[in-house]
Copies of this chain bind each other. A is one copy, B any other.
Amino acid sequence: MAKCLVAQSGGPTSVINATVAGVVKANQLNPVYDTVLGGLHGIEGILDEKFYDLTNMSDDENRVLRQSPSSALGSCRYKLKRENVADFEKLFAILKKHDIRTVFYTGGNDSMDTVAALDEYAKANNITGHQFVGCPKTVDNDLMVMDHAPGFASAAKFIATTALQTWTDSTVYTRQDVFILETMGRDAGWLAASSCVSGIVDVLVLPEHPFEKEAFLAAVKKHVDAKNKCYIVVSEGVHYADGTYLAAGESKNDTFGHAVLGGAGNAIKEMILEAGISERAKVQDLSNAQRSHATEQSKVDVEESFQLGMSAHMRSIDPSFTGMTVYVTRVEGDKYDVTYGATASSNIANHVRHFPEEWILPNFEGISKEAHAYFEPLLVGQPEIMYDEKGLPRQVKPYYMR
């Protein structure tokens, strides 16, 4: 018997830990590996041999782990580059030294490329006895092949809920009010678009279309003129036709030159005020809360993420299962249902799945019926969250802090 290792990479989500919990639970149900190691801080920590033994995790901890946001094993932005052969040599030596047969790696595009690269390296150098399995996650929902990426639905649920609530808040006065909600999504507009599930979004600005200032201001003006209010949702990655981000464009004049200060939300706020369309505009940037607000996980999302971890473990019993990414896809039919599949990690690596062009309504008017039908089943259901005696959600202590 050998060991397996599970590690996390890229930006955290509120359900990425559920996939780790799934791997651990599957190995308790069928102990294919004598040890389940958690690799701390992704590839970065594995290269430093920083592990935490997860094998005998209690069921209570497993449940708390599923409702713990962020990456309990720590994360990294370290990119394993194919030309950097020393990294590969070191990593395979560490796997051999610790008798690690299978590496489960959770992450987005870059992480799936890491899985593909490790598999390629092993094959090119006739190294056998190791398997690399990708478990996708990203709040951005921009991964190819799968219907949706674990982590997205919970972020979308928080965004749509917060849109509904802040809209309700922003309409209470008789005065003129423009409210701007900024979501994550540098390249793809899935998160911003999901806000439309709330049914209250007046103007939706996605990164899939080059930003046209005049058309945008006209759309805002239409709503302000009609009802003295306008609720706008904008994706952080919105940019002009030449690729310049709105955020970057507007914060040029900042005293210290930090382009981060503004944000797309503040940029369009300034445009609206400058154009005299409204006297007031308020911005809420959902920032990190949208990917870590695990107290409002989507039940669909947390269950699928957990089962994805189990599926990855169970499929790894086949020694030829390597360089593969497991994923969730939707079954056609009236009622929402999914199946779990697997594809070569290279099919996912380094691609971006944009929000579909045909789902975008013209003139910033939001999303089509088909898009609504896509989103809605993903947000349904709330897991039963366990709270501590102070009224706060129970979370595992991060393994990288133990």
- Taking Cβ atoms with an 8 Å cutoff, the residues of A that contact B are 12, 14, 41, 44-45, 68-71, 74-77, 157, 160-162, 164-166, 168-175, 179, 197-198, 253-256, 258, 260-261, 266, 269-270, 273-274, 282-289, 291-296, 298, 376, 378-382, 385, 387, 389-393, 395, 398, 400-401
In the complex, the answer to whether B288 meets A166 with C-beta atoms within 8 Å is: yes
In the complex, the answer to whether B285 meets A256 with C-beta atoms within 8 Å is: no
Identical copies in the complex: 2
Q: Contacts A161-B393, A285-B285, A393-B164 hold; do A172 and B70 have CB atoms under 8 A apart?
A: yes
Contacts of A284 in B (CB 8 A): 285, 287-289
In the complex, the answer to whether A293 meets B69 with C-beta atoms within 8 Å is: no
In the complex, the answer to whether A292 meets B165 with C-beta atoms within 8 Å is: yes
Taking A161-B393, A164-B393, A166-B288 as known contacts, 19 extra A-B pairs with beta carbons closer than 8 A to each other, sorted by chain A number, are: A12-B168, A41-B174, A69-B169, A74-B172, A74-B173, A75-B173, A161-B295, A162-B289, A168-B395, A169-B291, A197-B391, A197-B392, A282-B287, A284-B289, A286-B289, A296-B296, A376-B390, A378-B391, A381-B391
Q: How far is the CA of A253 from the CA of B251 in the complex (A)?
A: 11
Indicate the member of A77, A293, A294, A296 with the most B CB atoms within 10 Å: A293
In the complex, the answer to whether A165 meets B41 with C-beta atoms within 8 Å is: no
Instruction: Tell me how far the C-beta of A31 lies from the nearest C-beta in chain B, rounded to whole angstroms.
Output: 29
Q: How far is the CA of A170 from the CA of B12 in the complex (A)?
A: 9
Contacts of A255 in B (CB 8 A): 253, 270
Q: How far is the CA of A391 from the CA of B286 in the complex (A)?
A: 19
- Least CB separation from A164: chain B residue: B392
In the complex, the answer to whether A172 meets B256 with C-beta atoms within 8 Å is: no
Contacts of A391 in B (CB 8 A): 157, 160, 197, 298, 376, 378-382
20 sampled A-B residue pairs with Cβ under 8 A: A12-B172, A68-B168, A69-B169, A70-B165, A70-B172, A74-B173, A157-B392, A160-B391, A166-B287, A166-B288, A166-B292, A168-B398, A169-B291, A171-B398, A197-B390, A197-B391, A260-B282, A261-B269, A282-B287, A295-B296
